[in-house]
Amino acid sequence: MASELVGALVGWYDANARELPWRQPDRTAWGVLVSEVMLQQTPVRRVEPVWRTWMQRWPTPSDLAAASAGDAVRAWERLGYPRRALRLHAAATQIRDRHAGVVPDDLDELRVLDGIGEYTAAAVATFAFGQRHAVLDTNVRRVLARAVQGRAQAAPALTAAERATATSLLPDDDATAARWAIAVMELGALVCTARQPQCGDCPIADRCAWQLAGAPPYDGPPRRGQTWHGTDRQVRGRLLAVLRAAHRPVRRADLVRAVPDDDLRDPHQRDRCLAGLVHDGLAEPGPDDDTYALPG
DNA sequence: TACACGTGGAT
DNA sequence: TATCCAAGTGT
């Protein structure tokens, strides 16, 4: 029965998968790794053009490692969460120094690279190297929550039970498991979506536990919404946008102009955020202590 | 475990 | 307009 599920989903994927550059036959493991980091919390449409430019400029980990961290942050453009650019740069350096510039194909070796967590390590091992791993991202968790568990959405945090379910569904051989993994994720991205699932287009709707239960609404613990307006995150973003746009050190007065007092939640917010950016390695103070720039 | 961390499109 | 959501990770 599980094999029927696999066949239905893999067949659907072959007919409906998006053509993305990191899925092309000429893709590299590095390209897959870069795509996975960029796609963390950022939609495909916004990643694609940045990924193309990035890969043209830095076609191998060693190429990126030879650049400055600031160049990486600037090339990250407006994908968001710019610490990912810093970590990707650090991972490239680690790949150059510890793996002779070759992206490792071992799950545990991938997992300890900067910015590579449980999901991304499994994704690279699976999509770039065709291995057999449970790949649990938000899409897969939602599909399994519905199709297997019969619930409208997954729990707020990944559970051991979900890992066990995903592992139990994995086809035996590596190649099929890898195709299954990408197929489930694509179904979650295109059909079994969070807001308005297109169950009429779903290849497994007839055996979906959630559909068979009458599509009951979510009854788990509420998800905390992301706060935004007036937060440090917003102020950090505005400060960093100024540093990114400038190609020389920026005076404090220019940062004050970008984030005026009236926009602050408290009088110390701007200084606190600036210090936070410096602490995170996203900004560096100049020798005079009156200028800031992206890291060199 | 819960929270911090950017940005922009969709509803 | 406000809220939700998008291929998560680090602390």
Q: How many Å apart are A95 CA and C9 C1'?
A: 19
Distance CA A249, CA A243 (A): 8
Co-location of A123 and A80 in the same domain: yes
- Residue A109: give its domain's CATH number: 1.10.340.30
CA-based nearest residue to A133, from A117, A143, A122? A122
Task: Tell me phi and psi for residue A260, to 5 degrees.
Answer: -70, 160
User: pLDDT at residue A272 above 80?
Assistant: yes
**Domain tally, chain A:** 3
Q: How confident is the model at residue A227 (pLDDT cuts 50, 70, 90)?
A: confident
Co-location of A114 and A249 in the same domain: no
Co-location of A201 and A281 in the same domain: no
Co-location of A34 and A119 in the same domain: yes
Co-location of A177 and A262 in the same domain: no
The sheet carrying A284-285 orders its strands as: A250-251, A291-293, A284-285
Nucleotide nearest to A83 (CA to C1'): B5
- Domain endpoint, select from A105, A127, A149: A127
A155-176 tens-digit pLDDT = 999 999 999 999 999 999 999 9
- Residue A173: give its domain's CATH number: 1.10.1670.10
Domain extent for A161:
1-15+132-225
How many beta carbons lie within 10 A of that of residue A286, not counting itself? 13
Co-location of A209 and A241 in the same domain: no
Q: How confident is the model at residue A125 (pLDDT cuts 50, 70, 90)?
A: very high
A141-154 tens-digit pLDDT = 999 999 999 999 99
- Domain endpoint, select from A225, A244, A263: A225
- Residue A278: give its domain's CATH number: 1.10.10.10
Q: Where are the beta strands (DSSP E) in A7-66?
A: none
Q: How many Å apart are A4 CA and B4 C1'?
A: 42
Contacts of A95 (CB under 8 A, 6+ apart): A61, A62, A65, A101, A102, A103, A104, A113
A111 touches strand B (CB under 7 A): no
Assess whether A36 carries a catalytic annotation: yes
Asked if the structure places residue A22 within a domain, the reply is no
Co-location of A115 and A155 in the same domain: no
User: pLDDT at residue A179 above 70?
Assistant: yes
Q: What's chain A's average pLDDT?
A: 96
